[in-house]
Amino acid sequence: MASLDRVKVLVLGDSGVGKSSLVHLLCQNQVLGNPSWTVGCSVDVRVHDYKEGTPEEKTYYIELWDVGGSVGSASSVKSTRAVFYHSVNGIILVHDLTNKKSSQNLYRWTLEALNKDSSPTGVIVTNGTAPIHGT
């Protein structure tokens, strides 16, 4: 069996913007029927085979860390959340198009992640509230 390369991706954004629904869709290929609030952090995984531009297919073990909370949380919550930011390969920032504050807070989420000794190689910004239709 080939070895798996681990990829850790944080999914950040304000509470209620659709982070859990997005992670579930990415990992399970289905819409999450009744999402609930994430307390602390929830980790889902996906094994992904990738070959584009390489001579051999490579298998990646992708961990999607759905980090709960609000960027304006008390410092004790922020310091507790800091443990999730170590050894990060990427960040997905999620916001709600109907909630202007969630879009404005993306900058604060980015600062919080980058100030925790993480050095992601990629950042994606997406809307977590667009209608998602199953195929």
Kindly report whether the global pTM for this prediction surpasses the value 0.85.
no
CA atoms within 13 A on the CB side of 98: 7
Beta strands in 1-135 (DSSP E): 5-12, 41-50, 58-67, 90-95, 122-127
Per residue in 38-75, pLDDT tens?
Answer: 887 889 999 988 877 778 888 899 999 998 877 665 56
d(CA 54, CA 33): 38
CA torsion sign for 71, 96, 122, 37 is positive
> Has domain 5-127 been given CATH number 3.40.50.300?
yes
Per domain, the residue ranges of the chain are 5-127
Question: Is the pLDDT higher at 104 or at 130?
Answer: 104
The whole-number pLDDT of residue 95 equals 92
Q: Per-residue pLDDT tens for 67-100? A: 887 766 556 566 677 788 888 898 999 999 899 9
Walk across the sheet containing 5-12 and list its strands: 41-50, 58-67, 5-12, 90-95, 122-127
Amino acid 10: pLDDT:
92
